[in-house]
């Protein structure tokens, strides 16, 4: 296969139906999507569009009702519990809106935990953890608990943790959703830097328009289907209209 078109993620005909009470609700109505290695992809869409569901399915946190998701050409709906755990541990790094650090552990312990799970020797894990915290600009605060860090700092720890086992993919679910605008900007900058320096594929679900300018592609989800996919060059032209649409949308 040509390296230029190597797809780290392939989503093929994915549907997802939830049983809401006795009523089945189809949240995803057939989604096809290819994500190239090293790409920075944003998934945009209003609440209830199926954005989060698609996101969870790509991350192996949820299973599709039908269709397939390939990560590195492995169909993840066919994986058993051990293989899924391995996938989450090595292949994917997760970043959440609510940071989701383990509150009883220090920043360093949070970052080293995935490496310990991966069987890395404790000393190596600590060394690498310190390096990663340096990288995200928190080298001095490695012994602080999450409650002693600001939101932006917690998200930096979460980014360091997501990078712990050198994953191929980072999934960021509204990474700036709980941060103020300037802190959010810093986090976006950091993610962009990671994507460029480490060639990590970044997929983020977001409402944040600052995220779009750094994305290689933006996927718009509407009513459980892909509405449109825009590349960065198309995006710069249409950004004005996006913001207009956003401003005029009923809140």
Partner 1 sequence: MTGPSDSQPRQKIARQIVLPWKKSLAMAITSLRIRFFRSLITTFSLVLAIAFLCFTLSNAAIARELFRMHGDVALPLLTQAGYTIDPTGQNILTGPKELWLMFLSLLVCTVGIVNAQLMSVTERFREIGIMKCLGALDRIILRLFLLEALFLGILGAGFGAVLGMIAAWCSSVFHFDTLSYTHMNLLPLLNQAARAWAMGVGLSILGVLYPAILAAKMQPVIVMKEEY
Stretch of 64-72, 80-88, 208-216, 233-241 contacting partner 1, by CB under 8 A: 80-88
Residue (90 or 232) nearer to partner 1, CB: 90
- The interface region with partner 1, picked from 91-99, 129-137, 187-195, 217-225 by CB under 8 A, is 91-99
Question: Tokens in use for 251?
Answer: 């809140």
- Those residues whose C-beta lies under 8 Å from the C-beta of residue 219, and which sit 6 or more positions away, are 33, 41, 42, 43, 44, 226, 229
- Taking the complex as a whole, the smallest distance from the CB of residue 102 to partner 1 amounts, in Å, to 5
Q: Quick one: which segment of 81-89, 195-203, 207-215, 230-238 binds partner 1 (CB under 8 A)?
A: 81-89
- The reply to whether 81 sits near partner 1 by the rule CB under 8 A is yes
Q: Which two tokens stand for residue 179?
A: 């941060």
Q: Looking at the DSSP assignment, which residues form a beta bridge with residue 201?
A: 169
Alpha helices in 59-205 (DSSP H): 81-86, 107-117, 122-135, 151-162, 181-198
- Does position 103 interact with partner 1 (CB under 8 A)? The reply is yes
Angle subtended at Cα 20 by Cα 18 and Cα 23, rounded to the nearest 5 degrees:
100
Cβ proximity to partner 1: between 70 and 117 the closer is 117
Rounded Cα gap, residues 12 and 32, in angstroms: 5
Number of residues that bind partner 1 (CB under 8 A): 32
**Cβ of residue 207: shortest distance to partner 1, in angstroms?**
12
In the complex with partner 1, which residue's Cβ is closer, 77 or 100? 100
248, containing H or E segment: helix 232-248
Which window, 8-16, 22-30, 100-108, 225-233, contacts partner 1 (CB under 8 A)? 100-108
Question: How far is it, in rounded angstroms, from Cα 85 to Cα 78?
Answer: 13
Quick one: which of 10, 29, 68, 90 contacts partner 1 (CB under 8 A)?
A: 90
- Measuring CA to CA, which residue among 62, 80, 60 is closest to residue 70? 60
Whole-angstrom distance, CA of residue 58 vs CA of residue 70:
9
Asked whether position 37 contacts partner 1 by CB under 8 A, the answer is no
Which H helix or E strand runs over 236? Answer: helix 232-248
Q: Are strands 66-71 and 225-231 parallel, antiparallel or unpaired?
A: unpaired
Q: Is 101 in the site for partner 1 (CB under 8 A)?
A: yes
Taking the least distance from each CB to partner 1, the nearer of 89 and 213 is 89
| Nearer CB in complex with partner 1: 156/161 | 161
Binding to partner 1 (CB under 8 A): which residues in 125-184? 161, 173
- Please report, as ranges, the residues that interact with partner 1 according to CB under 8 A: 52, 56, 61-62, 80-83, 85-86, 88-90, 94, 96-98, 100-105, 113-114, 116-119, 122, 161, 173
């Amino acid at each position: 296969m040509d390296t230029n078109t190597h797809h780290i993620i392939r989503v093929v005909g994915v549907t997802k139906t939830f049983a809401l009470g006795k009523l089945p609700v189809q949240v995803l109505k057939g989604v096809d999507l290819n994500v190239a290695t090293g790409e920075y992809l944003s998934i945009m869409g209003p609440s209830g569009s199926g954005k989060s569901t698609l996101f969870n399915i790509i991350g192996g946190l949820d299973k599709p009702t039908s269709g397939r998701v390939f990560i590195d050409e492995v169909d993840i709906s066919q994986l058993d519990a051990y293989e899924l755990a391995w996938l989450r541990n090595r292949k994917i790094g997760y970043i959440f809106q609510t940071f989701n650090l383990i509150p009883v552990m220090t920043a360093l312990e949070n970052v080293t935990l995935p490496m310990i799970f991966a069987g890395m020797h404790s000393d190596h894990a600590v060394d690498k953890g310190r390096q990663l915290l340096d990288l995200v600009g928190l080298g001095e605060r490695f012994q602080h608990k999450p409650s002693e860090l600001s939101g932006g700092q917690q998200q930096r720890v979460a980014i360091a943790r997501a990078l712990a086992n050198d994953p191929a993919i980072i999934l960021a679910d509204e990474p700036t959703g709980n941060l103020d605008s300037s802190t959010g900007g810093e986090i976006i900058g950091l993610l962009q830097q990671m994507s460029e320096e480490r060639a990590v594929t970044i997929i983020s679900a977001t409402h944040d328009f600052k995220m779009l300018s750094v994305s290689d592609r933006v996927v718009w989800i509407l009513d459980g289907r892909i509405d449109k996919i825009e590349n960065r060059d198309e995006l710069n032209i249409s950004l004005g209209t996006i913001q207009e649409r956003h401003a005029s949308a009923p809140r």
